[in-house]
Amino acid sequence: MKQSLATIALLVKDYDEAIQYYTEKLHFELIEDTVLNESKRWVVVAPPGSSGCRLLLAKAVNDEQRSRIGNQTGGRVFLFLHTDNIQRDLDNLKTHSITIVRGPTHEPYGRVAVFADLYGNLWDLIEPAKHS
């Protein structure tokens, strides 16, 4: 048996606002933007060069969903973004006025910094340790 995690839904306020943030500030690639009906789109983004899990930008459609935007995990780090160069990516975050919550720190698994996305979701930015 073979399985893989393909896509994670991320609640957003507005499709175009979220696309702009992820593509222009985090430099993610827009994989798909398909209109499903008058109010719903299938919008998928992924980090550059990624062949793993993607994000489905899912517009919140009711009060319960809107209440979860920016806090889908109760204040814990929600998403983990690996990088080959944490300093380059931290410089990019600073250039785009993205909030760096803490770090970078050195951990047994690599260098890590926490940042908040446009809605306040917490992300770990990780440059994995190189094991010899």
The residue type found at 49 is: G
Write the DSSP symbol of residue 130. Answer: P
Long-range (24+ apart) CB contacts under 8 A made by 48-52 are 52/4, 52/5
Domains in the chain, number: 2
Residues 39 and 97 grouped into a single domain? no
Buried b (16+ CB within 10 A) or exposed e, 30-41: eeeeeeeeeeeb
Q: What is the pTM of this model?
A: 0.91
Residues 43 and 16 grouped into a single domain? yes
Q: Give the residue, 89 or 50, on which the prediction is more confident.
A: 89
Residues 23 and 6 grouped into a single domain? yes
**Host domain of residue 92:** 71-132
| 60-75 pLDDT per residue, tens | 999 999 999 999 998 8
